[in-house]
Amino acid sequence: MKSKNFILTATVLAMILTIGLTGASAADYPKRPITLICPWGAGGGTDAVSRIIATLLKKELGVPVNVVNRTGGSGAVGHTAMATAKPDGYTIGMPTVEITMMHWMGLTEVTYKDMTPIAMVNFDPAGINVLAKSSWKTYKDLENHVRDNPGQLKDSGTGQGGIWHLAMAGWLKAIGLPPTAIKWIPSKGAAPALQDLMAGGIDMSTCSLPEAATLIDAGKVRPLAIMAAEKDPKFPDVPTLKELGIDWTCGAWRGIAAPGGTAPEIVAVLEKAIATVVKSDEFIKFMKNRGYGIYWLESADFAKALAQADKDNGEIMKAAGITK
């Protein structure tokens, strides 16, 4: 009996010590520099957003926040690094829409379930962009052409299975057409795709409006619609697919997440600090100058959005034949 009591007492004591240490660490958090993993290369959009958030987080948290670019594997390397780091709050990351896509293509086994969502901070919907000199003056003009000439037109904006490919496939499915109704031409990104559009190599690009903004402002590209539920304030004359009676939204987003198993107390500290950052004049000015849309979802809502996006993207990718 004494042996059993000793074991029970030791177990309870260990639990108390563990709880006490966890509480203390959360209460003291943060007390040393934080690493923010960016899964994409230096100089890109995600890198830029990571760095402005890191700079402003330092002011809120009182410790340095250092951005580390972990690239490779079409985003798999960086997303894996942020998901598998020690869940102590000192390594966080900026997941992008690819976390809901990569595992469907067999690029990684890591999914959003391996992370602790903290907040979504940005969303830029896909656009349907054509040359300004084309005969398609409205979205309906283009849709009718696609219906009458299946497989004739060419679209681009990302590599095979990238977000803008998914945007096209989902849009076609939403209007009752197969993903082969428009040919997808893989590219290394929106910039080379838009160059190809200008040269006549493709007929359209389903990249975001911020990516096409320079050409739109120059009167060389015409956006016919955006795949969003709400209008883009910078392009108020461009209709949303929702306005046109089409139930499909799709876009690129960025958020902040921690490794799976991060303590709720630490998540709360980070969520509060990031909320302040997103509302700051500096962040708003930065995003406006870049043409990026600010889109806030707190931790719980971000988690729900990730689950829904993962499900929807998997279904579209299977229909398009771009899953493993």
For every one of its 324 residues, what pLDDT tens digit does the chain have, with 9 covering 90 and above? 444 443 333 333 344 434 443 443 567 899 999 999 999 988 888 999 999 999 999 999 999 999 999 998 889 999 999 999 999 999 999 999 999 999 999 999 999 999 999 999 999 999 999 999 999 999 999 999 999 999 999 999 988 888 999 999 999 999 999 999 999 999 888 889 999 999 999 999 999 999 999 999 999 999 999 999 899 988 999 999 999 999 999 999 999 999 999 999 999 999 999 999 999 999 999 999 988 999 999 999 999 999 999 999 999 899 888 888
Judge if 33-123+252-320 and 127-226 fold alike in CATH terms.
yes
Q: Which residue has the tokens 């910039």?
A: 191
Q: How far is CA 307 from CA 99, 239, 264, 311, 318, in A?
A: 11, 27, 19, 6, 17
Pairwise CA distance, residues 34 & 65, whole Å? 5
Cα(213)–Cα(290) distance, integer angstroms: 10
d(CA 324, CA 317): 10
Please state, in angstroms and rounded to a whole number, the distance separating the CA atoms of residues 129 and 212.
8
Distance CA 238, CA 240 (A): 7
Q: In the 3-class helix/strand/coil scheme, how is 106-130 assigned residue by residue?
A: CCCCCCHHHEEEEEEEEEEEEEEEE
CA distance 263 to 284: 29
Tokens 């991060």 — which residue? 262
Q: What is the pTM of this model?
A: 0.83
Give residue limits of the domains in the chain.
33-123+252-320, 127-226
Homologous superfamily (CATH) for 127-226: Periplasmic binding protein-like II (3.40.190.10)
Please give the pLDDT value at position 7: 39
Calpha distance 258→224 (Å, rounded): 38
Task: Domain 33-123+252-320: state its class.
Answer: alpha beta
